[in-house]
Amino acid sequence: MAENLVTRSPWPAWTVPLAAAVAAVAVWLVGAALGVDPEAQAGASTQPVTVVAAAVVALVAGFAGWGARALVARLTKGGGEVAWLLLCGAALLVSLTGAASGTTPATVALLVTEHLVVGVIVALGLRRA
């Protein structure tokens, strides 16, 4: 009989949203150091993207991902790693449409980078949770 070679992550799942928030803050700080003043188009007005907003959104995304990962694992046979990664890819594509609302090319680049970094951390960090 084949032995299950999938191992659980060495990190507790609750650390993944925290890591995502720290990474989002780091990307935001690098962007600010490079002179990017991130603002996003919100309807007819613009809204600043603050470092606090970046951290909070990353935390919310991480904890929502944790809940979704638990649901995927419960509904699929064998943990649903492939289903999880497909779900993450779809969520990331939807997320990137929001990142495209930056008011300048530099802001769009910063927001896309933040979304990609947070998405990869959540997807891979919770992959075996």
For residue 59, pLDDT beyond 70? yes
Q: What is the pTM of this model?
A: 0.88
- Residue 68: pLDDT band by 50, 70, 90 thresholds? very high
Q: Residue 78 above 70 pLDDT?
A: yes
Return d(Cα 42, Cα 40) in angstroms, integer.
6
3 confidence band (pLDDT: 50, 70, 90): very low
Has residue 99 got a pLDDT over 50? Answer: yes
Q: Which helix (H) or strand (E) holds 41?
A: strand 39-42
Which pLDDT does position 1 carry in this prediction?
42
Q: What is the mean pLDDT of residues 7-20?
A: 85
